[in-house]
Amino acid sequence: MSEPSQASTIAFTVWMSVMTGLSLSILALCARQVFDYAKLHDGAPKAKVLKMNIIMTMTPFILVVLYLWHAACISTLSLHGCDESPANIVFTAIMFANVEVSYLLFSWLRNGKIIALTHPHLHPHMRKFVIYLPALLYVQVIPAILEIKGINAINGFQVTWLHDIMNLAGGGLVCLFDCVLLYSFLSFLSNTRIEDDDPLDTEFTIVSRFGIIQVASSFLVCGVYLAWMLARDPFLKMELMYAVYSLFLLVFLCGYLMRRSTYNAEVKRRNAVQKFVETNGGGESKDMNNALGVQTKRVSIKQ
């Protein structure tokens, strides 16, 4: 296989530079979101909200570093040189694990309540799953380190096989997590109602709808990554890998839009109750709940 052309090297450098710019833009939006939430909660948001904001801001920062690294690496070493660089191999493995872990934690913090509501028997198991899975995801870095150290086999077992097996295991477990999320979202939207058949809660509905899109994007990432593992043409493998890098941003963008939409819904509810108070000078708690959009009826899950 011949070396990638100079035009290909320039194209990939521009590609990663554009992704860096997009990630910086989303990072700025996330910073604004954190500020807005702090303002909404009088500067002291709940611990869970604070954790979610930290992770939400950390993810685009990780992507900025990943894209910027590859843009610099390609422009310095050429496309093929960057792909074969030992430092790039280890760095990419670490960043992959960081992206997967941040996605896992954000998804759990944002969507764990829906799992508890729709499938309470699964919730404690999924909680343990989220606690222990990051360790396996970071262990995937070890084969990359062994490869650049020139250790090609351990007791006759090829390190490249170990790398592929661990990647498949990690990706498969993340997909399993996504399947549980998707099952919970669909269960909520199709089976969860309050007594008068109105939608249960605006926030959960928003989370479920955006969650389905986010999970679908995650499945797309897994599919492209599997295609990368099966591809034999070196240039095609590079194209598929950089496609995976780009799709990371799509997955996170869905999460950001979900977060922003729930924030906008909360602001709308607060404005409604403020308007109600100003117009009526208070009122019965039931009337105020109706203005705020708070559900006071018992939740029912169709079995």
Angle at 259 between CA 256 and CA 261, to 5 degrees: 110
**pLDDT band of 298, cuts 50, 70, 90:** very low
Query: What values do phi and psi take at 194, rounded to 5?
Result: -90, 180
DSSP 64-130: HHHHHHHHHHHHHH-HHHHHH-HHHHHHHHHHHHHHHHHHHHHHHHHHHHHHHHH-TTTHHHHHHHH
Please, are residues 138 and 118 in contact by the beta-carbon 8 Å criterion? no
pLDDT tens, position by position, 275-284: 777 776 655 5
Q: Report the alpha-carbon distance of residue 90 to residue 148 in Å, rounded.
A: 8
How confident is the prediction for the chain on average, in pLDDT? 79
Q: How much is the pTM?
A: 0.80
Q: For residue range 165-196, list pLDDT tens digits in order.
A: 888 888 888 889 989 988 888 888 887 554 44
- How many other β-carbons are positioned within 10 Å of the β-carbon of residue 146? 17
pLDDT of the residue at 156: 67
- What local confidence, expressed as pLDDT, does residue 24 receive? 92
Residues 6+ apart with CB under 8 A from 7: none
Question: Does 208 have pLDDT greater than 70?
Answer: yes
Query: Pick from 264, 256, 274, 275: which is nearest to 57 by CA?
Result: 256
What token pair was written down for 105?
A: 């934690």
CB contact at 8 A, 207 and 184:
no
What's the one-letter identity of residue 139? V
pLDDT at 272: 77
pLDDT tens digits for range 145-157: 887 777 777 766 7
Q: Which residues pair with 249 in a beta bridge?
A: none
What is the per-residue pLDDT across 91-127, written as a single tens digit (0 to 9) for each?
A: 888 988 899 899 899 888 888 888 888 889 989 999 9
Q: What is the pLDDT, as a whole number, of residue 201?
A: 61
| CA 212 to each of CA 37, 171, 183, 219: distance values in angstroms, whole numbers, following the listed order | 24, 18, 9, 11
82-86, 110-114, 203-207, 285-289: least confident range = 285-289
Q: What is the pLDDT of residues 221-264, one digit of tens each?
A: 888 988 888 888 877 888 888 888 889 989 888 888 888 888 88
* Residue 196 confidence (pLDDT): 42
Q: Percent of the chain scored above 90 by pLDDT?
A: 9
Look at residue 198 and tell me whether its pLDDT is greater than 60: no
Residue 268 has pLDDT above 70, yes or no: yes
Give dist(CA 158, CA 138) in Å, integer: 20
Residue 193's pLDDT is what? 53
Percent of the chain whose pLDDT exceeds 70:
82
State the amino acid at position 275 in one-letter form: K
In 3D space, the residue among 144, 60, 48, 45 whose CA is nearest the CA of residue 102 turns out to be: 60
What is the distance between the alpha carbons of residues 15 and 71, in angstroms, rounded to a whole number?
8
Instruction: Return the pLDDT at 127.
Output: 92
Report yes or no: 286 and 297 within 8 Å, Cβ to Cβ.
no
**Which band of pLDDT confidence, cut at 50, 70 and 90, is reported for residue 44?**
low
